[in-house]
Structures are given as structure tokens and as C-alpha cells.
């Protein structure tokens, strides 16, 4: 089965072709970072317009790179939610139109399921069951995964997601959007011993997260040291370092707790924040101590991309999933409402 995947949930247009026998044949990605950077965040209307401009050319590019004919494509998978409603509608409308014109099925995919399954694109893929840490700009969740569509939400952020906290702290420090990579680079030259930030909710039972208070602690620390306009570069780096370590330690502690609670030894981490080098190093070291292992997608598949949607669509279609003609996009779509393959 050859599946065309289309991802348009936010500010990146991703397209890919995945074959059930040959694997990933081709993919392409267009990022809108330059479009939204001057606004300090994603402007939904501008995002939708850019998807309209870029999606079809990317589809043509991917088909050409793969060296296949349109008649060889078996199905079209697209992101149906969660995400920005206008951006989702662009991808859904295009995918359904192509599928109708080509006489093949279309299938809406849950964005976070795509991220969760992205490590399956790698040669060394995890076996079920495993724990997944989904950590991106809009989500921080721990999920038990027993199979395709068999998900149990164990914990999630009660306020800001980790990625959102990174972006907001970057703005406090005068760094551009998107903030995560800039905070990480700034932290590299920081002194980890200068400031000690709290690790939120690690002393409470359970697997939920909260990063709003950590964001406030960062703001107060910045104010106590002169504020953004007066603080020196080294202090900015030290604050970035302390913030990043607090987030990373919190994630690591909760991941270890989830693995021990569920008596599992495999962890998948996916989403944009999974590209963070400090997080990868500390997770690998911490899990090695409990004879557990962590799996990641390739760096280029950590952020939103078409390959994860094509893969997820292919697996669901092979498992018997179909889509009704009146299926709607879902800007909000809790993981626990995601049906198993073939379910009515």
C-alpha cells in the first residue's frame, strides 16, 4: 500500500509518500518560521494561507522525488486534528479532493498519534507495549501504548506544555521565535550552579505536569537580576541553563516514574522538544540505570512532518480503518477519544 501523507496542523506543511513494503519513499517540508517570526508566534490566518500556497507544489515535488505515478497511490492520509482549524481544513480539503479525483480512500489522522508512531520510521523500532512521552509546543503527555490505537493517557500538563514554556521563556530573554532551540543554544554557555529552579510537581504522586509556575519563577529571577533590558549576556545564559535543566529533570523523573508504574522498559519520546540534546542525554543516562531504553524519531521527524502522517495512515488503513464522507476536522481531540483501527 502506497500512502500520501499531508500534515498542515500548524505552521509547517509536510508531505510524504510511505509504502508498506518499501518504507518511506520521499518527503518534503516547508516551515513558516520566517512568516511568523516577526509576530513572536503563529498567526492562524497567515498559516492557513501559506498552506494553500505550498501544499500542492510539495505534493508534486514528493511524487516526482519518489518516481511513482499518481495511479500507484493507494490512499491519502491527512492530519484531522488537533491543531489550528483553518490550517487543518486546508489539508483535509486538499486530501479529500485528491482522493475523490483519484478514486482512492482518504483518512484523517490524529496529529499526536503521528508523533507517537514517528520512531517506527527508524530501522530500530520499539516493540509494543511502551510508554510514550509526547512533548511539543502544544502538548506534554505520557501515554501507555499497547498497540496501534490502544492508548491509555497516564498524565499530561495541567497548564503550559513544555514547548510553550520554552517559547515564553525565550521571549522573556529576548530570543526570537520559535524559542526552544534558541534557549537550548543559550543554555550551552550557562553556569548550571548559579541558579536553582524548582522541579514542579515531582514531589507529588501521579504523572501530571505543570510548567506555568516555572515560567513565573524564570520571570522573577530575570527581574531580580536587572530585567531583560539590563541583564548581561552571561546571566541570560545562566537563567536559560537553569530553566532548561528544571524542565528536563522534571520530564526525566516523570518518565522513570511512568515506566516503573507500568512495569515497562521501553520509552518513546516524540514531538519538537524531543530534539533537545540535554533531554536526550539525561533520559538515556537515567533509563540505563533502571535497564530501560529510550527510542527517538530522526531529528527531522521530531517536528511536524508528512512522513509520520503517511505512516500512521498506512498502518490504520492496513488494519481496516475507513473514513465517512462527513468526517470533520477537530481542533481539539483528546487522545482518549481516538478509536482503535476498524472501530465504528
Enumerate the known binding-site residues for Fe cation.
Answer: 111, 115, 304
Query: Is the C-alpha dihedral spanning 159, 165, 169, 175 positive or negative?
Result: negative
Binding site listing: 111, 115, 134-138, 167, 180, 276, 304
What's the rounded Cα separation, in Å, for the pair 320 and 272?
30
Q: Distance between alpha carbon 68 and the CA centroid of its chain, in Å?
A: 29
Tell me which residue of 290, 255, 286 sits closest to 270, measured CA to CA. 255
* Cis peptide leading into residue 275 (ω within 30°): no
Cell numbers for 180:
526552544
What the block records as the C-alpha cell of 41 is 508566534
How buried is 147 (Cβ within 10 angstroms: 0-12 exposed, 13-18 middle, 19+ buried)?
A: exposed
Counting beta carbons within 10 angstroms of the beta carbon of residue 181, is it exposed (0 to 12), middle (13 to 18) or buried (19 or more)?
middle
Residues comprising the binding site for substrate? Answer: 134-138, 167, 180, 276
Question: Nearest to residue 207, comparing CAs of 280, 249, 267, 157?
Answer: 157
Question: What are the CA-CA distances from residue 93 to residues 52, 74, 84, 163, 178 (Å)?
Answer: 10, 18, 14, 29, 28
Amino acid at each position: 500500500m502506497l500512502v500520501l501523507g499531508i500534515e498542515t496542523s500548524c505552521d509547517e506543511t509536510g508531505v510524504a509518500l510511505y509504502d508498506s513494503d518499501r518504507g518511506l519513499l520521499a518527503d518534503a517540508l516547508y516551515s513558516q518560521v520566517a512568516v511568523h517570526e516577526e509576530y513572536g508566534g503563529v498567526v492562524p490566518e497567515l498559516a492557513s494561507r501559506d498552506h494553500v500556497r505550498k501544499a500542492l507544489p510539495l505534493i508534486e515535488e514528493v511524487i516526482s522525488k519518489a518516481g511513482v505515478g499518481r495511479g500507484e497511490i493507494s490512499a491519502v492520509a491527512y492530519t484531522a486534528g488537533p491543531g489550528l482549524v483553518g490550517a487543518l481544513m486546508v489539508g483535509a480539503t486538499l486530501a479529500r479532493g485528491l482522493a475523490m479525483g483519484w478514486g482512492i480512500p482518504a483518512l484523517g489522522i490524529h496529529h499526536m498519534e503521528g508523533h507517537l508512531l514517528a520512531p517506527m520510521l527508524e530501522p530500530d523500532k520499539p516493540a509494543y507495549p511502551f510508554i510514550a512521552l509526547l512533548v511539543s509546543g502544544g502538548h506534554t503527555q505520557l501515554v501507555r501504548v499497547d498497540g496501534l490505537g490502544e492508548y491509555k493517557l497516564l498524565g499530561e500538563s495541567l497548564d503550559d506544555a513544555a514547548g510553550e514554556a520554552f517559547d515564553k521563556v525565550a521571549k522573556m530573554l529576548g530570543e526570537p521565535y520559535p524559542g526552544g532551540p534558541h534557549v537550548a543554544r543559550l543554555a550551552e554557555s550557562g553556569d548550571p550552579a548559579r541558579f536553582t529552579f524548582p522541579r514542579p510537581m515531582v514531589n507529588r504522586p501521579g504523572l501530571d505536569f505543570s510548567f506555568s509556575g516555572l515560567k513565573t519563577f524564570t520571570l522573577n529571577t530575570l527581574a531580580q537580576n536587572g530585567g531583560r533590558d539590563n541583564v548581561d549576556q552571561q546571566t541570560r545564559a545562566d537563567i536559560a541553563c537553569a530553566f532548561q535543566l528544571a524542565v528536563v529533570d522534571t520530564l526525566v523523573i516523570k518518565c522513570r516514574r511512568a515506566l516503573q508504574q507500568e512495569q515497562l522498559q521501553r520509552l518513546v519520546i516524540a514531538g519538537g522538544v524531543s530534539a533537545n540534546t540535554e533531554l536526550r542525554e539525561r533520559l538515556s543516562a537515567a533509563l540505563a540505570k533502571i535497564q530501560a531504553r529510550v527510542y527517538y524519531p530522526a531529528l527531522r521527524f521530531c517536528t511536524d512532518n508528512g512522513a509520520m502522517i503517511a505512516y500512521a495512515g498506512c498502518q490504520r488503513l492496513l488494519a481496516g480503518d475507513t473514513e465517512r464522507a462527513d468526517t470533520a476536522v477537530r481542533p481539539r481531540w483528546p487522545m482518549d477519544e481516538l478509536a482503535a483501527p476498524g472501530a465504528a
